[in-house]
């Protein structure tokens, strides 16, 4: 069976995530312990106890979600469950790169800690927001965002999630005004997202530049048989790619998960397994492909159900 592992991004965090899996599986406990040792953060306490306000801060959110996904992944690996393709949304791409062995576990934890810190602290002193726009073509969303920017209102498409959903990012007043225009244009539904930064926009240029210096310290391993899909353009990483440049630009570039879905469909993926909190990515896949065989592993119950099915 051709399987893809999917790793979620920011906004899926919830206090208590991973706790039941941690309590049962030593493999999961080891991941939390190693990540805490490398980062100097008590990630177990952060994930299991919060407080929510701290967990929702980008500098902590990213490392918490990554560690939770990797802890679940470790249990799957110990049961010899593998995937030919890996993809993540934004920070989730780091879980995919670690799974494929392109980045070491230690370097991945260090990088995501720095990435989260810079994405929270190195932004202009403005109020920002994001919103998911459902049921309106991305070309129309781009058109309306362009019109807003001509009026001096900063708002851009940031996440192309699937054919029927695109997230916009920008200054709070611009987002609110744009939402009204998108509704007038026929958007079926618009949801304000649980994030406060102008993620995947040019407003994070300073964060990108600081992060690029961190990437220079890292050695990446050769690409192997596990294919990893890039957020930046929805294609596979290749040996000729400048991974450091791609991951730096990733901070200021839109996420093309829509293209990743199209690539996985073209590759005839038979099972999509989302590993980590929430059900966001499988939700995107279902919107584009109602027949897709999806699995969510975000709790002890869902993990054990899947392991029992695979026996």
Query: Sorting pLDDT into bands at 50, 70 and 90, what band is 47?
Result: very high
Same domain, 208 and 182: no
At residue 82, the pLDDT reads: 97
Q: What percent of the chain has pLDDT over 90?
A: 96
Are 94 and 209 found together in one domain?
A: yes
Average pLDDT over residues 297-301: 98
* End position of a domain, from candidates 197, 226, 244: 197
Residues 117 and 222 reside in one and the same domain: yes
**What pLDDT band is residue 194 in, cutting at 50, 70 and 90?**
low
Alpha-carbon distance of 123 to 207, in angstroms, equals 7
Predicted TM-score (pTM) of this structure? 0.96
* Dihedral of the alpha carbons of 107, 109, 113, 114, in degrees to the nearest 10: 10
Q: CATH no. for residue 164? A: 3.30.70.250
Number of domains in the chain: 2
Residue 11: band (very low, low, confident or very high) from pLDDT cuts 50, 70, 90 = confident
Residue 166: which H helix or E strand, with range? strand 165-171
Residues 18, 137 within the same domain: no
Q: What is the CATH number of the domain that holds 87?
A: 3.40.366.10
For residue 197, is pLDDT > 90? no
Tokens of 8: 């979620």
Q: How far is the C-alpha of 166 from the C-alpha of 142, rounded, in Å?
A: 10
- For 55-96, the pLDDT digits (tens) are 999 999 999 999 999 999 999 999 999 999 999 999 999 999
Do 213 and 92 lie in one domain? The reply is yes
Answer with the one of 182, 197, 212 that is the final residue of a domain: 197
Structural domain ending residue among the three candidates 153, 177, 197: 197
What confidence tier does 264 reach under pLDDT thresholds 50, 70, 90? Answer: very high
The residues annotated as belonging to the active site are 90, 200
Structure tokens, 14: 């919830």
The answer to whether residues 84 and 225 belong to one domain is yes
**Domain range enclosing 47:** 3-122+203-310
| 109 and 215 belong to one structural domain | yes
Shared domain check, 224 and 82:
yes
Tokens in use for 140?
């129309």
Rounded to 5°, the CA angle 125-231-111 comes to 60
């Amino acid at each position: 069976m051709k399987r893809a592992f999917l790793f979620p991004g920011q906004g899926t965090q919830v206090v208590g995530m991973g706790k039941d899996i941690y309590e049962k599986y030593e493999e999961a406990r080891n991941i939390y312990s190693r990540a805490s040792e490398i980062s100097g953060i008590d990630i177990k306490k952060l994930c299991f106890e919060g407080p929510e306000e701290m967990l929702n801060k980008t500098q902590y959110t990213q490392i918490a979600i990554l560690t939770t996904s990797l802890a679940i992944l470790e249990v799957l690996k110990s049961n010899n469950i593998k995937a030919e393709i890996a993809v993540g949304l934004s920070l989730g791409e780091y879980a995919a790169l670690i799974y494929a062995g392109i980045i070491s576990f230690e370097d991945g934890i260090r990088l995501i800690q720095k990435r989260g810190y810079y994405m929270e602290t190195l932004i202009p002193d403005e109020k920002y927001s994001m919103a998911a726009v459902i049921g309106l073509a991305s070309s129309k969303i781009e058109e309306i965002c362009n019109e807003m920017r001509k009026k001096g209102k900063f708002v851009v498409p940031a996440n192309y999630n699937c054919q029927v959903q695109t997230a916009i990012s920008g200054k709070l007043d611009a987002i609110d005004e744009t939402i009204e225009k998108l509704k007038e244009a026929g958007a079926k539904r618009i949801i304000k997202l649980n994030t406060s930064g102008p993620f995947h926009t040019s407003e994070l240029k300073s964060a990108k530049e600081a992060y690029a210096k961190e990437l220079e310290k890292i050695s990446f391993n050769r690409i192997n048989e596990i294919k990893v899909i890039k957020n930046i353009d929805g294609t596979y990483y290749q040996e000729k790619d400048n991974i450091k440049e791609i991951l730096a630009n990733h901070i200021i570039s839109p996420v093309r998960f829509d293209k990743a879905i199209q690539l996985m469909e073209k590759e005839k993926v038979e099972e999509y397994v989302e590993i980590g909190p929430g059900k966001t990515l499988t939700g995107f896949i279902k919107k584009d492909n109602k027949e897709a065989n999806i699995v969510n592993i975000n709790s002890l119950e869902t993990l054990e159900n899947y392991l029992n099915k695979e026996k």
